[in-house]
Amino acid sequence: MSEIPRGDANANTSDRTSLFEFDLDSLGQEVTAMGLPRRTAGQLLKWIYEKGVTDFEKMTDLSKDARAQIAARFCTLQGAVVRHQVASDDTQKLLIEWADLGAEAPPEGSVMRLAGGAGTATERQTETVLIPTDDRKTACVSSQVGCPVGCKFCASGIGGLDGNLTAGRIVEQVWRLGRLEGVGRVSNVVFMGMGEPLANFNNVTQAIRIMNAEWGLGIGARKITVSTVGLPPAIRKLCAFEIPVTLALSLHAPFDELRRKIIPWAEYSTIDELLDACQEWFVKTGREITLEYILLGGVNDRREHAEELARLARSMRANVNLIRYNEVDGVPFARPTSGDVHAFQEVLRAKHVNVHIRASRGRDIAAACGQLRHEARV
């Protein structure tokens, strides 16, 4: 593990808006309102995304007066990296602390609070992960501080939800991962970190626009995956989103009764309702979805579960990703045996389902699926 200094190029950012929040058009409107040429917007975004520069004083194609105006109105990095860890398989994880949430927290008593209430003022941290392979570098990003869903096997929802991340803070995670030594350009993004992305719909979709734009991070639409535990109205809303991202449904159980036991939010929508929304996604976008399925030893990894999952997948031509449960301190589930995982996969294959077993990356630094938290470990 290595430590990164907390300081950032732009201190005391609470009274200024991060440039990571803006697209080219909206930033153009901001700078012209300040009396600066519209081209200033493109210059600023080029410095940030193409050159990786966040210190206004180093943006030398802008006049000194312009830099002073910009620095008074805007900031760049809003978070501070308080921990940087590198796993034995080269997975890297950052713990980022935000001075404030920057987005309104859900009100007390709302569905967003059901997983255990709001976090405390000290729980303004998110973890984000870089997963490298030979042909891609994938950023696993968080969309919320904590999580309202409260899946019984997942560390992210312990303590409930503190609030939403703004679009800029979602983008900043990807930018930071791409600036790690030896990483270079991030090629893929998965919204599989902390939080329920579709419960922060506007910020997540704005972040995707910035990630996808040529002037932004330039990440292809099909290389951006939004993973949801299942909010049928939000899935239908996503059908109209102009950027053709990939959709993944975190199913984790093929029967409603079992799903409600391990995912509290399953109380609000049945599997049939979820798959109906996903079928609408397929019809309107022409894109198959992926069913994400975490295997919990002795809970949802039996033959009858595999057979029903196969039936559901075939009903909508979905792919299936099998994920071994990754251990979380204090959580009473067991990692399934390799034999049980492969037997489960074979049942699906025999039913002609396209199924893969996802490798658990970064387990030795608690960076694997279901292990991300919103507080520093001591």
Contact yes or no for 113/364 (Cβ under 8 A):
no
From the candidates 147, 154, 369, 375, which is the catalytic residue?
A: 369
Six token digits for residue 306: 């595999």
CA-based torsion, 83, 84, 87, 93: positive or negative: positive
Measured between alpha carbons, how far is residue 365 from residues 77, 189, 318, 369, 375 in Å?
Answer: 25, 20, 32, 12, 14
Q: Where would I find the H helices in 270-337? A: 271-285, 303-315
257 in active site: no
Residue type, 184: G
Cβ contacts of 82 within 8 Å, gap of 6 or more = 4, 6, 95, 96, 97, 125, 376
Six token digits for residue 144: 């919320």
Measured between alpha carbons, how far is residue 48 from residues 104, 179, 216, 250 in Å?
Answer: 26, 11, 9, 34
Cβ contacts of 158 within 8 Å, gap of 6 or more = 116, 373
Cβ contacts of 351 within 8 Å, gap of 6 or more = 307, 310, 311, 314
147 in active site: no
Contact yes or no for 191/199 (Cβ under 8 A):
no
Measured between alpha carbons, how far is residue 272 from residues 234, 237, 276, 303, 332 in Å?
Answer: 16, 18, 6, 21, 28
From the candidates 123, 127, 172, 196, which is the catalytic residue?
A: 127
Q: At what angle do helices 271-285 and 303-315 cross, to 10 degrees?
A: 40
Q: How far is Cα 101 from Cα 374, in angstroms, rounded to an integer?
A: 13
User: Widest CA span of the chain, in angstroms?
Assistant: 69
Q: Show which residues are catalytic.
A: 127, 369
